[in-house]
Amino acid sequence: MPKALITGISGQDGLYLAELLLEKGYDVTGLIRGQFNPKEPMVRATVPDVELLTGDLTDPLALARVLDRAEPTEVYNLGAISFVAYSWQNAALTSDVTGKGVLNMLEATRMYAGSDPSAVRFYQASSSEMFGRVQEVPQRESTLLWPRSPYGVAKVFGHYMTINYRESYGMHASSGILFNHESPRRGPEFVTRKVSIAVARIALGLQDTIVMGNLDAKRDWGFAGDYVEAMWRMLQQGEADDYVVATGETHSIRELLDVAFAAVGIDDWTPYVEQSPEFIRPAEVDLLIGDPAKARERLGWAPKVGFEELVRMMVEHDLREQSQHVG
């Protein structure tokens, strides 16, 4: 039976990936952090067949112990401080977790693999945030990286460290450059979920307005459930490589608001949306649109859920969830 270790099991992608691997017959272990992680009961309820082991990406000894216990044939490194806006407030911590944490995980995997480093396959969760300031449209694997946030800089470190471990030690280490992907499991701090929750609450009379930042930024948004399939496919290839995973379409925050409000029958959202400098970032990534041609050709991967369907799925989920607070 193949065995996988997933870091970031309590995050959006960790849960979808765990479900996918369990369905495929994997024995799955998840790394969870903290003395008691408040998300642990939710993780246990969602994926009861996953074994949870405690450890932190900043603690190499814990990572070595977890690898020895889990004995994985595939390692998916999804753990990170992942909220871009937060990374300016906590740049050193973000560098330690999202950047150096990748090195800790690569080195622990190399030590665990022993004489044949290619025997254990490694996936690194790289990000379109690495592209930052627009150099090329659409962005592909060869596009110059120009990160615009401490998070983006940390991801660039992890990305090149993954490539370096592949080239230095022959590790089967692949890096997925994933563009934004969302779902009803998305954290409420990210713009899609912030909007879907607020729109549901406005429709139910629980809230009057939503306060936003830059409405002109454009993102290539896909569905997280589709994107974890691409991660798995990368590790099934004979050779490790880097892949852009995206839909190839881009939409502004305004279009996100259009679709989300339309889902509850509101055509003009302007009376409900305010803007505040609080949500404007020190440096913005204006336009992300990915070219997924390599993933399509080599992995046979294509997204199934489109932008409008995704946004409606999230609003419908939040209408059900928020209706519990009515009355």
Under rule CB under 6 A, residue 178 binds ligand NDP:
yes
- Number of C-beta neighbours around residue 116 at 10 A: 9
To the query of whether residue 129 is one of the catalytic residues in this protein, the response is yes
To the query of whether residue 243 is one of the catalytic residues in this protein, the response is no
What are the residues whose beta carbons fall under 8 Å from the beta carbon of 291, sequence distance 6 or more? 138, 139, 140, 244, 246, 248
- Whole-number minimum distance, CB 205 to ligand NDP, in Å? 30
Angle of helix 101-113 relative to helix 150-169, nearest 10 degrees? 20
Does the CA dihedral 84-89-92-93 come out positive or negative? negative
- Of the candidates 50, 11, 13, which has an alpha carbon nearest to the alpha carbon of residue 28? 50
Residue 46 binding target from ligand NDP, ligand GDR, none, CB below 5 to 8 Å by type: none
Under rule CB under 6 A, residue 287 binds ligand GDR:
no
To the query of whether residue 321 is one of the catalytic residues in this protein, the response is no
Residue 57 binding target from ligand GDR, ligand NDP, none, CB below 5 to 8 Å by type: ligand NDP
Q: Which amino acid, residue 204?
A: L
Under rule CB under 6 A, residue 127 binds ligand NDP:
yes
Catalytic entry in 123, 151, 165, 243? 151
Note the maximum CA span of the chain.
64
Number of residues that bind ligand GDR (CB under 6 A): 22
Q: Is the peptide bond before 138 cis (omega within 30 degrees of 0)?
A: yes
Residue 31 φ then ψ, to 5°: -90, 125
x-marked contacts with ligand NDP along 2-41 as a string, rule CB under 6 A: -----xxxxxxxx----------------x-xx--x-x--
Residues in contact with ligand NDP by CB under 6 A are 7-14, 31, 33-34, 37, 39, 56-58, 78-82, 97, 125, 127, 178, 180-181, 187
Q: Which residues are catalytic?
A: 127, 129, 151
Residues in contact with ligand GDR by CB under 6 A are 82, 84-85, 127-129, 179-180, 189-191, 194, 212-214, 217, 219, 253, 279, 281, 284-285
